[in-house]
Structure 1
Amino acid sequence: MVWAGTTVTGKTPLVFVERGVKINAAYYQKHIIREVLDPWARNHFGNRPWTLQQDWALSHSAKSTIQLCKRLFPDVWDKEIWPSKSCDLNPMDYSVRSILEKKVSTKNYVTVGALKRALMKSWDEITPEQCSCIIDNFPKFSKPVLRQKEVCLKTC
């Protein structure tokens, strides 16, 4: 499994999770949030405001994960804002993943190490301008759905 994040101003490092590792809340909080995302975000954003939006994989949606994120980060979209099972709205899914797949799928890799190197090279080739464009397009995809969710919550 590969974890990564994008912002309008850049991208996190890629994190490879070894085959067979169960990514539960404790693993996600320790190895992704505390060891990668938090230090990267502090360095990248400094004191500037930013918002964490993540999908609702079980490790992401655990109460302890949400509490940790709300303690560490300036703004976190929880289930009240971001719909679950919304991969068509998530920039990582509708854009970044397809960029990486397009770049690495043209070749067969004999080893996992070779595939990882190709993914890292492709990830490094995604420019800050591409990240900006991806995130700038995010409202176009998400606003109608989030607006509909708001209407539904008010009327249901």
Structure 2
Amino acid sequence: MIQMKCRVLLFVKKNMPCVKMMKLSPSPDLNPLDYAIWSILMEKACQKPHPNVESLKRALKKAWKGITLVDLVKIVDNFPKRFQACIDANGGHFE
């Protein structure tokens, strides 16, 4: 999984030279973990109630491992639209 994520970062660096690799944005609207990854994890790991924390941890780890390169590419491809929406909202919240 780490190799796939590294491949996405390398793809962005190679094909989007104007984008500097930077720290995650503090804005949840521009942070892929907030606007995409958490919803994927919740959808996959929280389909049923868990009897305990260990069960939830296992489900989250399984969901994390299930995130594909295709998922990551979609998230990266969506970023320019999100960035423009943020600009259009003058840095405020947007959907």
State the TM-score bracket (shorter-chain normalisation): 0.5 to 0.7
TM-score between the two structures when normalised by the length of structure 2: 0.65
Larger Rg: 1
1:51-79 per-residue CA deviation (whole Å, 9 max, x = no partner) reads: 133243xxxxxxxxxxxxxxxxxxxxxxx
- Quick one: which amino acid aligns to residue 51 of structure 2? V
Alignment partner of 2:48: what SS? coil
More helix by share: 2
1:51 aligned residue: 21
More strand by share: 1
TM-score between the two structures when normalised by the length of structure 1: 0.42
* Residues 1:145 and 2:80 aligned together: no
1:72-119 per-residue CA deviation (whole Å, 9 max, x = no partner) reads: xxxxxxxxxxxxxx2123221111111111112211112211111100
* Residues 1:132 and 2:73 aligned together: yes
Instruction: Please list every run of 5 or more consecutive structure 2 residues that lacks an aligned counterpart in the other structure.
Output: 15-19
2:57 aligned residue: 116
Number of aligned positions between the proteins: 79
The RMSD of aligned alpha carbons is 2.8
In structure 2, distance between residues paired with 1:55 and 1:138: 12
Cα deviation for residue 146 of structure 1 reads: 4.0
Q: Which runs of 4+ in 1 moved over 6 A?
A: none
2:5 aligned residue: 10
With a CA cutoff of 8 Å and minimum separation of 6, indicate the structure with the bigger relative contact order.
2
In structure 2, distance between residues paired with 1:110 and 1:54: 33
In structure 2, distance between residues paired with 1:55 and 1:113: 30
Cα deviation for residue 123 of structure 1 reads: 0.6
Instruction: Please list every run of 5 or more consecutive structure 1 residues that lacks an aligned counterpart in the other structure.
Output: 1-5, 12-43, 57-85, 150-156
